[in-house]
Amino acid sequence: MTRRVLTGIKPTGTPHLGNLLGAFRPALRLADEGLDAMYFIADYHALTTVKDRAQLARYTHEVAATWLALGLDPERTLFYRQSDVPEIFELSWVLACFTSKGWLDRAHAYKSAMAAGDTEINMGLYTYPVLMAADILAFDSDLVPVGKDQDQHVEIARDIAQRVNHMVGHDVLRVPAARIEHDSAVVPGTDGRKMSKSYGNTIPLFATAAERKKIIGRIVTDSTPPEAPKDPATSTIFELYRAVATPAEAEALAARYRSGIGWGEAKQALADRLEQELAIPRARYQELIADPARLDGILAAGAEKARAYARGVLERVRVAIGISRPR
């Protein structure tokens, strides 16, 4: 039986280079590994932070257009919007009734918010792991790709599934496993910190060549003169270049660093390589984002397929807990 793998992305901002290297590309590779790949836009998860309706709609379309522009084939894989699959949310309530409060008290996002003194933590943030468990369990997912230090939510989903199975006396839910992405990229931003919209240091994925060059020009460098040798391993510019270049291209630029290169020249090399990488996807993206009805149609078609599967899982659960009668 082909193993099923599930990946979701929250529409909480305009996609940037860090998203490409840390999320979109690793996820898209799954379909090439012989796995039954499922991709979704986690728009209800985004409600924990995004409260503006127009902004949420825009971000959702931007994420959908990005998936498709980068090569996702909705005929080959399952691609849907979370909010179009109501079975997920009914299952979420059932799972919540089997979930220990202690598990949620220990969740990283909740603990981080508490440690930061956040006095307005919403229940969406607190119960986020339960909805994520429903996302996973509603599709009999075998694998959920996560970073090596971000597998707690999958562990909670496993705990919930095992508790449900134990309480009803048989395996009604498939117990998933985390697929640890040891090589998932931590991409530096223009200030050297992790690229994040919260830091305002991102390089938008589909900016024009001129816009991107201007942003790259803001990457922080030192005062080393152009003719002085430079260590590529300590350069944010080189790290970003290496992330998109071939090994041969990266080594060629590293040699130029070691023999002496001006920061302006290094930034131009990065700008040129990113434009080479992203010009064609940008054209596809612009075509897609200009036609939201087309995006909605693709997502709706995926949702019909997703609902057909999730409906079967939910009915198994309803029978197991006594809500429905066996057919």
Assign residue 234 the CATH number of its domain.
Answer: 1.10.240.10
pTM of the model: 0.92
Question: Based on the domain organization, do 146 and 262 belong to the same domain?
Answer: no
Question: Based on the domain organization, do 143 and 248 belong to the same domain?
Answer: no
Residue 149 confidence (pLDDT): 64
Residue 185 confidence (pLDDT): 63
pLDDT in tens, 45-71: 999 999 999 999 999 999 999 999 999
The CATH number of whichever domain residue 87 belongs to comes to 3.40.50.620
Domain range holding 252?
206-287
Question: Based on the domain organization, do 183 and 266 belong to the same domain?
Answer: no
Question: Based on the domain organization, do 281 and 315 belong to the same domain?
Answer: no
For residue 160, which of 149, 148, 172 has the smallest C-alpha distance?
172
Residue 244 phi, psi dihedral angles, 5° rounding: -115, -15
Residue 274 confidence (pLDDT): 97
Rg (CA), the chain: 22
pLDDT in tens, 257-287: 999 999 999 999 999 999 999 999 999 999 9
Residue 267 in any domain: the answer is yes
How far is the C-alpha of 32 from the C-alpha of 73, rounded, in Å?
Answer: 11
Question: Based on the domain organization, do 232 and 147 belong to the same domain?
Answer: no
Question: Based on the domain organization, do 161 and 306 belong to the same domain?
Answer: yes
How far is the C-alpha of 240 from the C-alpha of 205, rounded, in Å?
Answer: 13
Q: How many domains does the structure of the chain reveal? A: 2
Residue 26 confidence (pLDDT): 87
Question: Based on the domain organization, do 115 and 228 belong to the same domain?
Answer: no
Residue 297 in any domain: the answer is yes
Contact between residue 61 and residue 297 where contact means Cβ atoms under 8 Å apart = no
Question: Based on the domain organization, do 261 and 231 belong to the same domain?
Answer: yes
Residue 224 confidence (pLDDT): 92
Question: Based on the domain organization, do 101 and 150 belong to the same domain?
Answer: yes
Residue 184 confidence (pLDDT): 59
Q: Which residues of the chain have pLDDT under 50?
A: none
Question: Based on the domain organization, do 56 and 161 belong to the same domain?
Answer: yes
DSSP3 helix / strand / coil % (the chain, rounded to 5) = 60, 10, 35
